[in-house]
Chains A and B, each alone.
Chain A
Amino acid sequence: MDPRRAPRTVSDPKVRKVGFFTDPPDRSLPGPPDHPISSFPTSPPSTIDNSPPSAGNSLSPVMIPPPRHSSSILSPLRRDPAEFFPLPASPTASTSFSDDVASTMKGRGVAAASSSLPGGLFFYIAAIKSAASSVPASGLTTVSVVNNLPIEKGGGVAVEMQDDQSSRSKSLKEKTTKAERRALQEAQRAAKATAKAEDGKTPAAASGGAASVKSGKSVKPPPSQKNDSAALAALEKKAGDRPPEKDRKKEVPQPRMQFDDKSRVEKAKRRAVVKQTEARNRVELFRHLPQYERGTQRTELRSKFFELDPVHPAVYKVGLQYLYGDICGSNARCIAMLQAFQEAIKDYSTPSKKTLARDLTAKIGSYLSFLIECRPLSISMGNAIRFLKNRIAKLPLTLSELEAKATLRSDIDRFINEKIILADKVIVKHAVTKISDGDVLLTYGSPSAVEMVLLHAHELGKQFRVVVVDSRPKLEGQLLLHRLVGKGINCTYTHVNAISYIMHEVTRVFLGASSVLSNGTVYSKVGTACVAMVAHAFRVPVLVCCEAYKFHERVQLDSLCSNELGDPDVISKIHGREDINFLDGSTNSENLQLLNLIYDATPSDYISMIITDYGMVPPTSVPVIVRDYRREHLWI
């Protein structure tokens, strides 16, 4: 299946007299994944030149990027790299300039990360390097920017090209926004001292809201929280998006907490229930994600059991289960969390002089921060929390406490039933129509929805066999394999390294998802993107089974900006194979950084259809479902 390129190639101005031409949404002009245009509609025209030649000149009638002042700065980029460097001298120019550069480099970083480096990028990097040597003074500006990172990194240019330009993009962003942030925070230090008294309650809710994007819409931090809003403004700028003013007033989800912002990390640490030490040897590119030493987390939590007054035992139990990895998979985690909250609500009693709605919301917020410390929330959990907070806020004031609690608990039951259990049944019903006799189905990891589909199809008597693809370090596929073979299904088991070897005999690929984002990107366990890409290359249809409650209006273009970091030690050791211990002793070396990513993002071009409880839809229809879903939620 070729990427959907048809609409763009048609824009011949002679034909396109634009009478009834309805603007296609940006996502119907996706182009290949390494194409920065659809990702950055406002990126300067020079990036269009830099992208692969197939990008086309026919872009103009449909999408004309607004002329940017920086385009004049950037266009000499390719021709005269020496001129590039004196420009960062002026701070004001550099703010927007480096933002643009950062965004274009981020765009290129995306390109670099997701596919081979385009030719222009090599030129650019080579140019930087040559300029760095030929123009030492200004060259050092950029090089020193690279080095000007929060944690000590020895001088000198980074070795790896990829790391270099991507870290440079991040550092350029950091440099400017940090300066701004520093200024703002100096000014607000006084206000902070006075506001420190209120630090107890609201920051807990705020951090619960801030740390998880998807939750906490109904709990807005009061605008008097100057320090939060300052960091917020800085963060929003850092993220590179500039929401229009009116959007800020609307329900904008809190930006996620970026863990390379030292002041926020410090603040969060002070509020934290559990003390955690940050891991050493963190990969530069992922400094914005939290990473802790697993060992200390566990001992801390265990020792604190009797001191954890604010945390309900059911929630504590679930938190521990997350930490130890006993509960895995977004549905399981979501259900466990909701059931723990049900218990907590049962045992809850409103203290005097407080309203149930506000106090309960605050309590849930504090439970959430605890759970987040054990393991960051998944998107499905975030949506569930949003639902719960919505329900709490909508409770009629006339209800007595007992009635309110009963209503909430039955609401949670209904949510679990309708949105997860029944939704799975509908998904299974749709999916089995796509399985026919003689099929060879491939699945990756252990998605719960896909497992149900396979078992049901087998019950219906369809003749098929399954290829289970697995990967380290979790090896979740083995559990699925066990269960399928137990039911008598013919299975083949392989690791993800062999995916291109096995793909030629596969007829359908079924994947699960942790979430599907608005641009059709599927966010799921790391390795899924690989499987989908190989399947696409072999023209095998890829079907993603995902309940509608996991959809999110967020858009993510790559796997870097938001992810989860797992325990890096698991990579260096292979459980049960003590003879393979080449990394013993080197894990603490400065030159070695271990990276254990949990999630990745699969572009919508590789997905043939998404099977949800709304039926079978193409990936382009996800925003429609999100819109529908939100509307429906307001009526519940």
Chain B
Amino acid sequence: MMELEIELKKASDSLKLWDATSISLTAGCDLFMRYVTRTSALEYEDFNSAKSRLIERAEKFGEISCKARRIIAMLSQDFIFDGCTIMVHGFSRVVLEVLKTAAQSKKLFRVFCTEGRPDRTGLRLSNELAKLDVPVKLLIDSAVAYTMDDVDMVFVGADGVVESGGIINMMGTYQMALVAHSMNKPVYVAAESYKFARLYPLDQKDMAPALRPIDFGVPIPSKVEVETSARDYTPPQYLTLLFTDLGVLTPSVVSDELIQLYL
């Protein structure tokens, strides 16, 4: 069993190394490793049964992650009402699932979608939404405050949910949350529970950097620096609710869940 644990740890480490910046990957690996160490403490005489239990758990893990999106979509239906305007940022499959479910239950709503430079996530998302016959409006990132008056709620996904209850997501989320908060619009986050990570950033620079080159279309003079970070941290006081497969949570519950999970 110990050998198996060590092997699994090595595998998990190499997986994490593949994309050092992905928080959900790290968090997911950590969670599974946590389960492994917890169960192997209960000594199984039969190695095979222990192994099969782990495999079963791993498959269940995969299943949960797929089902999670559907659960989240279901939970968030109550919050989307007829005639509402939703602002979305970044391309999150969970948020897409939420909007898809809402559209399929014949709710009438429209979506404001930010362009999401430099990834152009906005264009992808608006494509998908147009296929669902949902009225979409595309904005440039700077037009968030301008249009916030007409918006009823903000919906974002998350790369990772940190211990303080804040989220790490694509660059621009913090900005949007700040504007929404100052205009008293709710900010909802849709994230699966395996994205809960044991990080605790104190400010924007306190995270592992994730850089992405930006193409401005014209060559930049060499003396000019470019801010290439791809994500930012939104503190919990700007978030209203988190939709997870564990239920609809407030940001302060994230730490409780993490404590129970890891201790």
A residues in contact (CB < 8 Å) with B? 1-7, 9-10, 14-15, 17, 19-22, 24-25, 27-28, 434, 508, 541, 543, 608-609, 614-618, 620-621, 624-625, 628
Q: Are B186 and A1 in contact (CB under 8 A)?
A: no
Q: Are A1 and B252 in contact (CB under 8 A)?
A: no
- Residue B164 interfacial (CB < 8 Å): yes
Q: Are A4 and B236 in contact (CB under 8 A)?
A: yes
CB-CB < 8 A to A617: which residues of B?
Answer: 163, 255, 259
- Residue B202 interfacial (CB < 8 Å): yes
Q: How far in angstroms is the closest Cβ of chain B from A293?
A: 46
Q: Are B206 and A618 in contact (CB under 8 A)?
A: no
Q: Which residue of B lies closest to A615 (CB)?
A: B198
- Residue B1 interfacial (CB < 8 Å): no
Q: Which residue of B lies closest to A58 (CB)?
A: B184
What is the CA–CA distance of A44 and B58 in the complex, to the nearest angstrom? 54
Q: Which residue of B lies closest to A25 (CB)?
A: B252
A6: contacting residue among B81, B200, B240, B248, CB under 8 A? B240
Q: Are B252 and A28 in contact (CB under 8 A)?
A: yes
Q: Are B203 and A541 in contact (CB under 8 A)?
A: yes
CB-CB < 8 A to B200: which residues of A?
Answer: 609, 616, 618
B250: contacting residue among A7, A9, A508, A608, CB under 8 A? A7
Instruction: Tell me which residues from 55 to 83 in chain B have a Cβ below 8 Å from any Cβ of chain A.
Output: 75, 78-79, 81
Q: How far in angstroms is the closest Cβ of chain A from B222?
A: 26
CB-CB < 8 A to A7: which residues of B?
Answer: 240-241, 250
Contact A618 to B164, CB < 8 A, known contacts A9-B184, A508-B202, A541-B203: yes
What is the CA–CA distance of A617 and B199 in the complex, to the nearest angstrom? 10
Q: Which residue of A lies closest to B76 (CB)?
A: A20
- Residue B96 interfacial (CB < 8 Å): no
What is the CA–CA distance of A617 and B253 in the complex, to the nearest angstrom? 11
CB-CB < 8 A to B250: which residues of A?
Answer: 7, 22, 24, 28
Q: Are B164 and A609 in contact (CB under 8 A)?
A: yes
Q: Are A1 and B255 in contact (CB under 8 A)?
A: no
Instruction: Tell me which residues from 31 to 60 in chain B have a Cβ below 8 Å from any Cβ of chain A.
Output: none
Closest 10 CB pairs of A and B: A620-B252, A19-B78, A621-B255, A541-B202, A4-B237, A10-B186, A616-B200, A20-B248, A24-B250, A624-B256
A to B CB contacts below 8 Å, 18 in the list: A1-B237, A6-B181, A6-B186, A7-B240, A7-B241, A19-B75, A22-B248, A541-B202, A608-B202, A609-B164, A615-B198, A615-B262, A618-B165, A618-B252, A620-B165, A624-B255, A624-B259, A628-B259
What is the CA–CA distance of A246 and B170 in the complex, to the nearest angstrom? 51
CB-CB < 8 A to B78: which residues of A?
Answer: 17, 19-20
CB-CB < 8 A to B240: which residues of A?
Answer: 6-7, 10
A614: contacting residue among B152, B186, B263, CB under 8 A? B263
What is the CA–CA distance of A104 and B75 in the complex, to the nearest angstrom? 40
- Residue B87 interfacial (CB < 8 Å): no
Q: Which residue of A lies closest to B188 (CB)?
A: A10
Known: A6-B238, A620-B252. 16 other contacts (CB 8 A): A3-B237, A5-B237, A6-B240, A7-B250, A9-B186, A10-B240, A15-B153, A15-B186, A20-B78, A20-B247, A24-B252, A541-B202, A614-B263, A617-B255, A618-B200, A628-B263
CB-CB < 8 A to B167: which residues of A?
Answer: none
What is the CA–CA distance of A326 and B47 in the complex, to the nearest angstrom? 59
What is the CA–CA distance of A24 and B239 in the complex, to the nearest angstrom? 13
What is the CA–CA distance of A160 and B108 in the complex, to the nearest angstrom? 61
Q: How far in angstroms is the closest Cβ of chain A from B248?
A: 5
What is the CA–CA distance of A543 and B255 in the complex, to the nearest angstrom? 16
Q: Which residue of B lies closest to A619 (CB)?
A: B252
- Residue B176 interfacial (CB < 8 Å): no
Q: Are B249 and A618 in contact (CB under 8 A)?
A: no
CB-CB < 8 A to B256: which residues of A?
Answer: 621, 624
- Residue B197 interfacial (CB < 8 Å): no
Interface string of B230-260 (1 = CB under 8 A from A): 0000011111110000011111110110011
What is the CA–CA distance of A79 and B52 in the complex, to the nearest angstrom? 75
CB-CB < 8 A to A508: which residues of B?
Answer: 202
CB-CB < 8 A to B184: which residues of A?
Answer: 9
CB-CB < 8 A to A541: which residues of B?
Answer: 202-203
Q: How far in angstroms is the closest Cβ of chain A from B31?
A: 15
CB-CB < 8 A to B253: which residues of A?
Answer: 22
CB-CB < 8 A to A19: which residues of B?
Answer: 75, 78
CB-CB < 8 A to A620: which residues of B?
Answer: 165, 252, 255
Q: How far in angstroms is the closest Cβ of chain B from A165?
A: 32
Q: Which residue of B lies closest to A23 (CB)?
A: B250
Q: Are B247 and A2 in contact (CB under 8 A)?
A: no
Q: Which residue of A lies closest to B205 (CB)?
A: A436
Q: Are B252 and A614 in contact (CB under 8 A)?
A: no
Q: How far in angstroms is the closest Cβ of chain A from B114?
A: 21
A434: contacting residue among B206, B235, B238, CB under 8 A? B206
Q: How far in angstroms is the closest Cβ of chain B from A153?
A: 45
Q: How far in angstroms is the closest Cβ of chain A from B116?
A: 24
CB-CB < 8 A to B198: which residues of A?
Answer: 615
CB-CB < 8 A to A25: which residues of B?
Answer: 252
Q: Which residue of A lies closest to B77 (CB)?
A: A19
- Residue B187 interfacial (CB < 8 Å): yes
What is the CA–CA distance of A28 and B165 in the complex, to the nearest angstrom? 12
CB-CB < 8 A to B260: which residues of A?
Answer: 624
B259: contacting residue among A14, A24, A614, CB under 8 A? A614
Q: Are B259 and A621 in contact (CB under 8 A)?
A: yes
CB-CB < 8 A to A616: which residues of B?
Answer: 163, 200
Q: How far in angstroms is the closest Cβ of chain A from B207?
A: 12
Q: Are B247 and A22 in contact (CB under 8 A)?
A: yes
What is the CA–CA distance of A143 and B184 in the complex, to the nearest angstrom? 45
Q: How far in angstroms is the closest Cβ of chain A from B148?
A: 14
CB-CB < 8 A to A17: which residues of B?
Answer: 78-79, 81
Of A2, A21, A24, A620, most buried by chain B (CB within 10 Å of CB) is A620
Q: How far in angstroms is the closest Cβ of chain A from B40?
A: 21
What is the CA–CA distance of A535 and B48 in the complex, to the nearest angstrom? 57
What is the CA–CA distance of A384 and B239 in the complex, to the nearest angstrom? 39
Q: How far in angstroms is the closest Cβ of chain A from B78?
A: 4
CB-CB < 8 A to B81: which residues of A?
Answer: 14-15, 17
Of A19, A20, A615, most buried by chain B (CB within 10 Å of CB) is A20
Q: How far in angstroms is the closest Cβ of chain B from A15?
A: 6
Q: How far in angstroms is the closest Cβ of chain B from A426?
A: 12
CB-CB < 8 A to B259: which residues of A?
Answer: 614-615, 617, 621, 624-625, 628
Q: Are B202 and A609 in contact (CB under 8 A)?
A: yes
CB-CB < 8 A to B153: which residues of A?
Answer: 15
What is the CA–CA distance of A7 and B248 in the complex, to the nearest angstrom? 13
What is the CA–CA distance of A2 and B251 in the complex, to the nearest angstrom? 15
Q: Are A6 and B187 in contact (CB under 8 A)?
A: yes
What is the CA–CA distance of A541 and B164 in the complex, to the nearest angstrom? 13
